[in-house]
């Protein structure tokens, strides 16, 4: 169990995000509440995914499960990035065995220009309420709560290409064939995401993470031209209106790190495809870093987890002897095949390793 602190702002996680000295690196894992946990699977036998997401009390219960079982240093609200698309008229359902299904996709310039967004307080009231309930519940644990949203490009790629795409072909086509429409969509999404993130802070979130799951499909040129200005504007707005740390995370973004270093976020999350030492050198000392254990290792033997985790620690220490500004995490979300005992051992190992 995480140590209770008198003031959440003094927690290891928030201090690391602010690049302040900590006795050890904090640990939390993306998707730490989910299908690898027996307690979560028991709930899923009674409720569909969206039932859990849209019920604030149940979302709170799921968020707390890994805190109570493993003692992570931060919690992340149990939610999903796709319901935000309902604000632009795209609903989502989760079918068993087939993942998310969107009610429609944006296939023309006119469809994009005709978007009439609805307020996030209306569309996503359930998650905002869940943040409020969960932040209050976490006080007795002394653990901060992370709110989150999908990034504008990732949500745009779902809105245009749908789910399950590998290369965002239709999204890239709109970028180049209808840049006015793509720019409009990104601006609309940035406004909604900004509103949503700030609403979560108002409800009690202590930090924010922006998930750009599909950023890695873009070339350096396209990310810099079509996405980076919007991402900068979004983070700038959030930072101007709240003091909580902001984390930006994308997968397969090793070739974009020089661009990501220009974002005004506090922390950059990196995946396992690049040595964390190399990533931090590119990002610069002004950024905290989060990562970057391969999530697949949690499904295998402990020896592989320990060896890879130790290498991460050694690489971080080679740049920063005090490991200041380092948050231990995976390079993406926990897989359903992860072993609970491995997760427990990993948390204990990080807490015990000097």
User: pLDDT tens across 97-124, in order?
Assistant: 667 889 999 999 999 999 999 999 999 9
Least confident window among 5-14, 37-46, 53-62, 204-213: 5-14
Confidence of residue 2 (pLDDT cuts 50, 70, 90): very low
**Starting from the edge strand earliest in sequence, which strands make up the sheet with 75-76, in order?**
75-76, 145-150, 207-212, 246-250, 267-269, 288-293, 326-330
Average pLDDT in the 185-201 region?
98
Average pLDDT in the 280-288 region?
95
Q: Taking 50 as the threshold, does the pLDDT of residue 1 lie above it? A: no
pLDDT reported for residue 7: 83
| CA-wise closest residue to 153 among 125, 193, 115, 180 | 193
d(CA 67, CA 78): 12
Peptide bond into 131 cis (omega under 30): no
The answer to whether 93 and 78 have CB atoms below 8 angstroms apart is: no
Peptide bond into 3 cis (omega under 30): no
Q: Taking 70 as the threshold, does the pLDDT of residue 6 lie above it? A: no
d(CA 151, CA 286): 22
% the chain with pLDDT above 70: 97
Average pLDDT in the 159-170 region?
87
pLDDT reported for residue 94: 85
Least confident window among 6-10, 27-31, 33-37, 111-115: 6-10
Q: Which fold has domain 8-352?
A: TIM Barrel (3.20.20)
List the catalytic residue out of 18, 24, 44, 187.
Answer: 44
Active site residue 19: no
pLDDT in tens, 317-347: 999 989 999 999 999 999 999 999 999 999 9
Active site residue 18: no
Give bridge partners of residue 288 from the DSSP assignment. Answer: 267
pTM: predicted TM-score of the whole model, two decimal places: 0.96
Active site residue 310: no
List the catalytic residue out of 40, 158, 196, 223.
Answer: 158
The answer to whether 172 and 96 have CB atoms below 8 angstroms apart is: no
Give, as one character, the DSSP assignment of residue 339: -
Active site residue 44: yes
Q: Are strands 99-102 and 267-269 parallel, antiparallel or unpaired?
A: unpaired
Beta-strand ranges (E) seen in the chain are 75-76, 92-95, 99-102, 145-150, 207-212, 246-250, 267-269, 288-293, 326-330
Q: What is the mean pLDDT of the chain?
A: 95
- Return the structure tokens found at 263: 């974002």
pLDDT in tens, 291-309: 999 999 999 999 999 999 9
Give bridge partners of residue 231 from the DSSP assignment. Answer: none
Q: Taking 90 as the threshold, does the pLDDT of residue 96 lie above it? A: no
d(CA 177, CA 193): 25
List the catalytic residue out of 24, 35, 187, 237.
Answer: 35
List the catalytic residue out of 24, 47, 80, 183.
Answer: 80
Active site residue 158: yes
User: Where do the structural domains in the chain lie, given as residue ranges?
Assistant: 8-352
Q: Taking 50 as the threshold, does the pLDDT of residue 78 lie above it? A: yes
pLDDT reported for residue 21: 94
d(CA 263, CA 50): 32
Give bridge partners of residue 326 from the DSSP assignment. Answer: 289
Average pLDDT in the 156-184 region?
92
- Return the structure tokens found at 13: 């996680």
Give Cα separations from 119 to 96, 149, 297 (angstroms).
29, 15, 41
- Return the structure tokens found at 73: 């240093």
User: Helices 56-70 and 340-352, interaxial angle, to 10°?
Assistant: 60
CB neighbourhood size of 121 (10 A): 11
DSSP string of 230-285, one letter each residue: HHHHHHHHHHHH--S-EEEEESS-GGGHHHHTTS--SEEE--TTS-HHHHHHHH-T
């Amino acid at each position: 169990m995480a140590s209770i602190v008198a003031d959440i702002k003094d927690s290891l996680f928030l201090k690391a995000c602010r690049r302040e000295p900590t006795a050890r690196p904090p640990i939390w894992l993306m998707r730490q509440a989910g299908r690898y946990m027996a307690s979560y699977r028991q709930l899923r036998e009674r409720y569909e995914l969206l039932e859990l997401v849209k019920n604030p009390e149940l979302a709170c219960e799921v968020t707390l499960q890994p805190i109570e079982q493993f003692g992570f240093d931060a919690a992340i609200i149990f939610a999903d990035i796709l319901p935000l698309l309902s604000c632009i008229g795209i609903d989502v359902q989760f079918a068993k065995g087939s993942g998310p299904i969107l009610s429609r996709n944006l296939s023309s310039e006119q469809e994009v220009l005709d978007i009439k967004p609805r307020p996030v307080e209306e569309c996503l009231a359930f998650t905002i309420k869940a943040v409020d309930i969960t932040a209050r519940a976490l006080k007795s644990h002394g653990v901060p709560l992370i709110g989150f949203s999908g990034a504008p490009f990732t949500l745009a790629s779902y809105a245009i290409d749908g789910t399950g795409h590998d290369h965002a072909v239709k999204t890239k086509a709109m970028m180049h064939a209808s840049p006015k429409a793509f720019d409009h969509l990104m601006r609309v999404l940035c406004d909604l995401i900004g509103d949503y993130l700030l609403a979560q802070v108002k409800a009690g979130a202590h930090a924010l993470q922006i998930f750009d799951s599909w950023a890695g499909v873009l070339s350096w040129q396209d990310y810099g031209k079509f996405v980076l200005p919007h991402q900068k504007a979004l983070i700038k707005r959030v930072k101007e209106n709240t003091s909580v740390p902001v984390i930006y995370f994308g997968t397969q973004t090793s070739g974009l790190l020089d661009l990501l270093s220009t974002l005004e976020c506090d922390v950059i999350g990196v995946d396992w495809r690049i040595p964390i030492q190399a990533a931090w050198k590119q990002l610069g000392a002004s950024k905290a870093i989060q990562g970057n254990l391969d999530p697949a290792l949690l499904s295998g033997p402990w020896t592989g987890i320990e060896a890879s985790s130790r290498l991460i620690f050694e690489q971080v220490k080679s740049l920063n002897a005090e490991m200041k500004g380092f948050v231990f995490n995976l390079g993406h979300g926990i897989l359903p095949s992860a072993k609970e005992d491995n997760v427990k051992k990993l948390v204990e190992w990080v807490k015990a390793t000097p």
